[in-house]
Amino acid sequence: MKFDLIDQVTARDDSSLSAVKNVSAAEEYLGDHFPRFPILPGVMMLEALVQAGRHFAAGADDPPPRPLVVAEVRNVRYSGMVRPGETLTLSVTLRKRDGHRYDFQGTGTVGDRTAVQGRFALEPIAATA
């Protein structure tokens, strides 16, 4: 099952990208997380940031030759819940690029409160022989 968590890219420049994820009660994983108190799982918040990073890389002058995968995750902090009906605003900023490896700082907010923040790196999946 593939989860496309980016509903819309709202801005992009040479070093950053902003996007939104509208959380709907119809999303199947919310039924189990948690019954009677659904919230967007933390791993899905991180995945939304990763997908925003992939959108950034896809718009580069020389996009990666193969799909990007997570190479590293650091200092991720969750500081707020995201409930159905809320919009998670995502922001990724390129910290460093080495060839097709991208190092990002990402933040997800709901209104004026931070829900998730951290650093992560993406690099092309290894070529198969």
Query: What is the secondary structure of the chain as a DSSP string?
Result: -------EEEEE-SSEEEEEEE--TT-GGGGSSSTTS----HHHHHHHHHHHHHHHHHTSSS--SS-EEEEEEEEEEE-----TT-EEEEEEEEEEEETTEEEEEEEEEETTEEEEEEEEEEEEPPPP-
Active site residues per annotation: 33
Q: What is the CATH number of the domain that holds 92?
A: 3.10.129.10
- Domain assignment of residue 39, yes or no: yes
pLDDT digits (tens, 9 = 90+) for 48-97: 999 999 999 999 989 899 999 999 999 999 999 999 999 999 999 999 99
- Domain assignment of residue 62, yes or no: yes
- Domain assignment of residue 15, yes or no: yes
- Domain assignment of residue 3, yes or no: no
- Domain assignment of residue 129, yes or no: no
Note the pTM of the prediction, 2 decimals. 0.94
- Domain assignment of residue 72, yes or no: yes
pLDDT digits (tens, 9 = 90+) for 5-17: 999 999 999 999 9
- Domain assignment of residue 1, yes or no: no
- Domain assignment of residue 2, yes or no: no
Query: Predicted confidence band at 129 (pLDDT cuts at 50, 70, 90)?
Result: low
CB environment 107-126: b (16+ within 10 A), e (fewer): bbbbeeeebbbbbbbbbbee
The first and second tokens of residue 86, run together, are: 């809320």
Enclosing domain of residue 53: 8-124
Count up the domains in the chain and report the number. Answer: 1
d(CA 87, CA 115) in angstroms, rounded, equals: 11
